[in-house]
A and B are shown apart, each in its own frame.
Chain A
């Protein structure tokens, strides 16, 4: 029994050491590859999207937190335009809600994010080509948009039930 405890404690410690090492590695890569700030926001957003596509509330919640942090850490001083700060404030709040909500409410906040991100990249640019996609059925046929890095449709609003509903409405080219 005691032995078992020691072994599991050791495993936990190893795991923590390993993950923190992996994190550091990541940080390092970002620094050497001309890391743009919008990257961490887009990464978090797209991870939330992937999570919602696969009906994964927990993962969406984790990346909601990441998105909120990324928005709050964005260096707005580079942009004299006050609009950027306002967009980031709103993105941060959506992220915080996604972090603490059940999946249908996560999707409501996610639906609001597409326009904010489009407005953001219009000012600060995008590090990758984005496809603005649209499903007319979401929210009682009022429709819902999202951004994707691929032309393929993977609808985040219904998960498994309706993966293919939607079409590309706009292509936002990489700067």
Chain B
């Protein structure tokens, strides 16, 4: 049994070291354009900071990667979430959408924040700042519904 445990530990560490040879892609941090949600709507400071700390990491072209995104397998998960997030909603390019599509996205944002579907639980666990208070959430929802 001891030998088996040793063997298992050995295999596990080889795998863990091995997968470090396959780093995930990291998106570049793009400059802010006039299509950026915050530039486009110019919301109050509080809304801006809530959006930046709770949404922009995955839903923009301006991801600040956390340290653990350089370690596998976490980096793969992180990049996966970012790819999915940006495909669904990219706040850096919000201004490019048609008015109808903007309305659709605003509604979905409200809905997700209200339900607690977003930010993702795993993200909230790792990033305390993204844990918005009830009041912060209500302020964002009120703001979004005014648009």
Chain A interface residues toward B at CB < 8 A: 82-83, 86-87, 89-90, 93-94, 108, 112, 116
Contacts and interface: CB of A to CB of B under 8 A. Distances in A.
A112 B104 contact: yes
A90 B111 contact: no
A89 B101 contact: yes
Nearest to A82: B98
A112 B107 contact: yes
Given A94-B104, A116-B100, 13 more contacts: A86-B98, A86-B99, A86-B100, A86-B101, A89-B98, A89-B101, A90-B100, A90-B101, A90-B104, A93-B101, A108-B111, A112-B104, A112-B107
Interface of B is mostly: helix
Contacts of B99: 86
A94 B104 CA distance: 9
B111 A93 contact: no
A54 B126 CA distance: 40
B89 to A, nearest CB: 11
B127 to A, nearest CB: 24
B100 A93 contact: no
Nearest to A116: B100
A170 B101 CA distance: 25
20 contacts: A82-B98, A83-B100, A86-B98, A86-B99, A86-B100, A86-B101, A87-B100, A89-B98, A89-B100, A89-B101, A90-B100, A90-B101, A90-B104, A93-B101, A93-B104, A94-B104, A108-B111, A112-B104, A112-B107, A116-B100
Interface string B106-145: 0100010000000000000000000000000000000000
